[in-house]
Amino acid sequence: MQLSLFTALALLVLTAAGFLLGRRRALAAGQGRAAGLHSLPDYYGYYVAMWTGAPALVLLALYGLFGGMLVNTLALAELERSAEPLGARYESVLEIDPAHAGLRAERDQAEAGRLAAREYADAMFTQHGAESPQMAEAMTDVDGWIAEGERVEAELETRESQLLSQILGAAPDSPQGLAARAGLEYAQLPIERRQLFISDIRALAFGEGMASRDTAELRAAAAVFQPYETTIKWTVCLLAFSIAVIGLARAWRRVAPGFRARNRVEGAISFLLMLSSAIAILTTLGIVMSLLFEAIRFFAAIDWRVHEFLFGTQWSPQIAIRADQIGQSGAFGAVPLFVGTGLITLIAMAVAVPVGLFAAIYLSEYASPGVRAWAKPVLEILAGIPTVVYGFFALLTVGPFLRDFAMLLGYEDAVTQSALSAGLVMGVMIIPFVSSLSDDVINAVPQTLRDGAYAMGATKSEAVRQVVLPAALPGIVGAVLLAVSRAVGETMIVVMAAGQAANLTANPLESVTTITVQIVTLLTGDQEFNSAKTLSAFALGLVLFVMTLMLNIVALRVVQKYREKYD
Amino acid sequence: MTDAPASSAIREAVSQRLAKRHRAEKRFRAYGVGAIALAVIFLAILLGSIGFQSLGAFTMNTLTLPVTINERQADPRGDGTEESLRRGNYNAIIQDGLRAQFPSVDDRAELRDLFGLYNGVNSASLMRKVVANPSLVGGTTDFTLPLSDDVDLYLKGITVSERFAGRQGALDVVVSDQTVRLESAEPAFADFLTVMRDELIRRADEAAANASRLESAAGAAATRDEREALLSQSRRQAALSVSLRERAEAQGDVVLGTDTPALFLQAEGGVIQVRSVSRDGRIAVGETLLPLQAEGPITAWTEWAVETPSNARRISDRRMVYARALEDRDMVRSGFNTILFTNADSRAPELAGVLGAMIGSILTMLVTMVLAVPIGVGTAIYLEEFAPKNRLTNFIEVNINNLAAVPSIVFGLLGLAIFINLFGLPRSAPLVGGMVLALMTLPTVIISSRAALRAVPPSIREAALGVGASRTQAVFHHVLPLAMPGILTGSIIGLAQALGETAPLLMIGMVAFIADPPTLGLSGFLEPSTVMPVQIYLWSGAAERAFEMRTAAAIITLLSLMIMFNAAAIYLRRRFERRW
């Protein structure tokens, strides 16, 4: 790290030097007068500095991003190579070990038994239905085989680790032997534990963080890592430095009175600008790709039963553990989440649309400039308050108040975390959104329309209701759609105030859960990244993204179409 | 103009209709006013309730305790080196300091109540004090530490309702081995008996009301099981009501327990807890919690009635007595809660502060600013000034508008999948948080920058081009400086939005409990940390009442930060805004 930091500093100094040298040479070439040059002297400086700094710094940045990965790949390959003889011995021992062979046979038997029992259960399911005693009996059988399979698997693992430790113990304690042992250990690790192994080695080798354990094998592996790291680091730094020097020299040599330095520099600037606008596209692409990729992995994990995800009515991802539990097939039914999201959105809209719309009408048609001057900022403050604050308010003030109120009215099962409290508070949060968008649309309605209405003898409210609002309707619809998309994607208020129970209900006083709440629940806390449970969050994210995207596209279309009419 | 002679019937109908139309007009207008009023009222309730909740968190009660730092405990190796000082048993030193205040306390349960006045984590700050100044070893020094949250809330009068009443009279004190018997010729304890009786009757009435409500609910129950359950609950409440009423009306001694108000008697520097009072209010039997300094009859005492029963409060009787005693000795001070701003997160509410989250927010915002502002302004310049009007630019524009409306949590998913799982960047780091928030803020910055650039009149560009500037020069030397105030305003508003954002940061693991604030430096960007809104979220889930107040206080802090941001934006807009 020190070395690359030093190189980066040196490159910066070199770049500054490039600027000065280029400028000096240009002035010298123009005999001290700028008028003899094609571009202003500074541009020659920029040009030289650009060729000095940019390629080398890009190289350094690439090293920063991928250097660690490169070292890991190379060093681990060497570790695995040195572990090959040991690995071969281990394989052969596994082959000839009688206990292991017996266990393997047992495992095959358990697998066959499970498949047969499963088939039988499926048959019972179609013949007698899910609740029948035959089905229950068949399921017990399946579970029995699964338990048997797990037992055998566990025994196999124990036996394998016994044999592995025998092999490892037999290897010599020389550095090569230790490295080979580390390599074999790494090769035998399951994928999810390899990352920890690597970071332990890196911690020992380069002092990056704390190692979770410290063994002779890890030390030996660290010793394998170190030369790679050193070589690559020095190579990259020297390379970057020489690229910078070569770039400086070449660009400096090109500086001449007729050289079009400004055009080159401006070309680079517009390239940079283009690059930054590409980031918007890259972000969208990144969102779509990551969501799609992980969602596809999720659907693969649940055997492509996409319809069960979209139309299933039971959501309990926490209990879906094993792949062949039949109970699992219904565990990823997202309908309760969709219904919960819809219910809360509906409540929020019932608050936000009337209040926001009337506020917008009042502000744009009735209010004096004085009222506008304070009322608009107040609405803006509502829009600027962080959603976590609304969540806290909903949880500690609105929720208990609504619960007590419902109890007062004789509803005994009232809870603090209810769809109603989350929806109400979310509605208030969205008021300024609706009102400022509608305000814009109402203001965009030409004054002539109003004047026409007044000339016919309409009162103000009649003009608003019968002329202005119909004219602004598409825009208002667009604004409401955007508000809906915001309500659907809102997270913190519902996480804090709506609860986590996946109830399929239309009762606003019960606690419901939403898509966003489940994403947060699934992805916070301990997680193993490859389980269907975690991946399902990405499938939910995809649903959320597609939903809001469609709402946005429709809304923007509606708004744009409307604008074209009057402009 | 002359009116055409209209028949009075038509005139009548028109004027009636007109009145109706005017009423409708007024109604419509009232709806508008109502909508605005609703928003304003809600804002007032929101800010008011949070401000009110936060009040308790801005003050705290600290205990200043003289502690003797003896060599045996502070310097176990006896060589005075820092390493040895760090191994000292400072908790024992604080405990000894407390015991010195209450020499009569020696029972285990009593000691547990005494030592519960503070959190053991405070010993670390005593250690730091001694390590910084080793000459303290062997002497006595004043050590100031925050009282534990339950005691703090009690002393603030938030969790327990109690009242003190000074009394005069003659009270005989008879001490037998465990108990103290207080006798008086007058009914000295009659007032307390009324309090007690009122309390019992109030609870009896409450239970009776519950019982009748449950019974009526049972009548409306849908299923038989439900009705049975409600009826049995109702019967239980009715029985409770009867037994409470019997206790209130009973003859014989009134026994004080964990479910009744408690009575203490302060006199002569000691405290006696009353366990039972005779019905006539003349005789009370209790036990000594702190010994009386003088013997013989008492002539003046303070009656200390605690109305909250001990099973309904988190602080025990004895701990209350110790806390009050320390307060009477002027060792407890109530002052501004500096810990809230100088500490990072802690499991103990009295030691928890927002410093760590604040530093995390600063680091995250720096990353966001460095990424979002240049990229956003660059994109805006490109789209507004350079880009040819073709399909690609159109696509980029649609894209940006859509990104502006993508839910923030989706950006969190992007960060988790790409930055953490694909690029292998560390979880919970301000760098990753800043990158995610930058992507989220980008559309805001782009849209406002484009508006600012568009507001610069074309004459400026044309004049620059006319005197021979290139397009790049015209933009960077003339248009951009003029658009800068607008761009800055938009960027600040975008950053303020990012400052309050929580959901995407939950996705990338910034919700961890982090007791050490991250370094304010280059390495801090990769250290695990949290930010203000996430800290608010974490605290709001904590069970302790004291955390509730601290959450509100953290919200007030965050809101003031955001107000500062927005005020800066408004100032810039007012100061530099130009209209053409």
Whether B338 is covered by a domain: the verdict is: no
The distance from CA A503 to its chain's CA centroid, rounded to whole angstroms, is: 27
Mean pLDDT of chain B: 88
A45 and A92 fall within a common domain: no
Contact (Cβ atoms closer than 8 angstroms) between residue B448 and residue B379: no
Asked if pLDDT for residue B457 goes beyond 90, the answer is: yes
B378/B526 same-domain check: yes
Largest CA distance in chain A: 104
Q: How many residues does chain A have?
A: 567
* Residue A187, number of CB atoms within 10 A of its CB: 16
Same domain, B88 and B110: yes
Shared-domain flag, residues A339 and A455: yes
- Examine the domain organization and report whether A92 and A24 are in the same domain: no
List C-alpha distances in Å: A539 to A328, A341, A534, B232. Answer: 17, 16, 10, 47
Q: What confidence tens digit (pLDDT) does each residue in A452-511 have?
A: 999 999 999 999 999 999 888 888 998 999 999 999 999 999 999 988 878 888 888 888
Strands B283-290 and B180-183: antiparallel
The verdict on B115 and B212 lying in the same domain is no
In a domain, B3, yes or no: no
B460-474 average pLDDT score: 93
- Average of per-residue pLDDT across B231-249: 86
- The whole-angstrom distance between A290's CA and the closest CA on chain B is 6
> What global pTM score does this model have?
0.85
> Among candidates A74, A156, A142, which has minimal Cα distance to A114?
A142
Closest CB to B39 among A275, A371, A379:
A379
Reported as a single tens digit per residue, the pLDDT across A509-567 is 888 999 999 999 888 866 666 677 888 899 999 999 999 999 988 888 887 776 655 54
Give the domain-ending residue among B155, B180, B204. Answer: B155
Examine the domain organization and report whether B221 and B364 are in the same domain. no
Residue B401 included in any domain: yes
Distances B87 to A533, B81, B415 between C-alpha atoms, Å: 46, 10, 43
In the listed set A243, A258, A277, which residue is the last one of a domain according to the structure?
A: A277
Claim to verify: residue B179 and residue B210 sit in the same structural domain: yes
Q: Is residue B320 part of a domain?
A: no
Residues A284, B34: C-beta atoms closer than 8 Å: no
In a domain, A309, yes or no: no
Mutate to test the interface with A, among B410, B428, B495 (most CBs of A within 10 A): B410
Indicate if A77 and A94 belong to the same structural domain.
Answer: no
* Pair of tokens at residue B469: 């500037």
| Pair B551, B507 in one domain | yes
Q: Are residue A108 and residue A63 in the same domain, yes or no? A: no
Q: What is the pLDDT of residues B359-397, one digit of tens each?
A: 999 999 999 999 999 999 999 999 999 988 888 888 888
Structure tokens at A78: 């060497």
pLDDT digit string (tens) for B151-204?
Answer: 999 998 888 888 888 888 888 888 877 788 888 887 888 888 888 888 888 888
Confidence class of residue A295 from pLDDT cuts 50, 70 and 90? very high
A477 is a domain residue: yes
Beta-carbon count within 10 A of B158 CB: 14
Shortest CA distance to B42 belongs to which of A260, A430, A42, A135?
A430
Selection from A411, A425, A432 nearest residue A347 by Cα: A425
> Domain ends where: B155, B172, B196?
B155
Q: How many CB pairs under 8 A join A and B?
A: 256
Q: Give the count of alpha carbons within 13 A of B403, CB side only.
A: 32
- CA dist A551 and A557 (Å) reads 10
End-to-end CA distance of chain A: give it in Å, rounded: 58
Distance CA B450, CA B133 (A): 59
Are A266 and A414 contained in the same domain?
A: no
Mutation choice for B interface testing from A198, A266, A283 by most B CBs within 10 A: A283
* Closest residue on chain B to A523 (Cα): B507
CA distances (Å), origin B460, targets A270, B381, B463: 20, 15, 5
Cβ pair B29:A362 closer than 8 A? yes
**In this structure, are A386 and A247 located in the same domain?**
no
DSSP state letter for B253: P
Q: How many domains does chain A have?
A: 3
**B341 belongs to a structural domain:** no
Both A48 and A184 in one domain: the answer is no
Q: Are residues B291 and B384 located together in one domain of the fold?
A: no
B328 belongs to a structural domain? no
Q: Please indicate, yes or no, whether residues A437 and A470 belong to a single structural domain of this protein.
A: yes
Q: Provide the angle, in degrees to the nearest 10, between the axes of the packed helices A133-170 and A175-188.
A: 170
Same domain, B51 and B75: no
Kindly indicate the confidence band of residue A319, based on its pLDDT and cuts at 50, 70 and 90: low
Task: Please check whether residue B325 lies inside any domain of the structure.
Answer: no
Range of the domain at B266: 162-312
Together in a domain, A67 and A106? no
Domain's final residue, options B312, B329, B361: B312
Looking at the fold, whether B111 and B184 belong to one and the same domain comes out as: no
pLDDT of residue A130: 65
In terms of domains, do B198 and B71 share one? no
Residue from A273, A401, A462 to probe the interface with B (highest B Cβ count within 10 Å) = A273
In chain A, which residues have their Cβ closer than 8 Å to the Cβ of B421? 529
Does residue B342 form part of some domain? no
Searching chain A, which residue's CA lies closest to the CA of residue B48?
A393
Task: Residue A442: give its domain's CATH number.
Answer: 1.10.3720.10
- Indicate whether B251 and B307 sit together in one domain: yes
Q: What is the mean pLDDT of chain A?
A: 85
What pLDDT was estimated at residue B223?
75
Structure confidence by residue, pLDDT tens digits, A350-380: 999 999 999 999 999 999 999 988 888 888 8
Task: State whether B104 and B170 are in the same domain.
Answer: no
Identify the domain containing residue A8 by its residue range: 2-81+223-277
Identify whether A389 is part of a domain.
Answer: yes
Count of structural domains, chain B: 4
DSSP A467: I
Asked which of A190, A211, A239 is the last residue of a domain, the reply is A190
Residue B528 with chain A: CB contacts under 8 Å? none
Q: Is residue A547 part of a domain?
A: yes
Q: pLDDT, tens digit, for every residue of A52-88?
A: 999 999 999 888 878 878 888 888 888 888 888 888 8
Nearest CA in chain A to B418: A290
Which stretch of DSSP H or E encloses residue B559?
A: helix B545-576
Final residue belonging to a domain, choices A135, A166, A190? A190
A68 and A102 belong to one structural domain: no
Break chain A down into helix, strand, coil percent, rounded to 5. 80, 0, 20
**A123 and A251 both lie in a single domain:** no
Distance between CA atoms of A498 and A478, rounded to whole angstroms?
Answer: 27
ipTM of the complex: 0.88
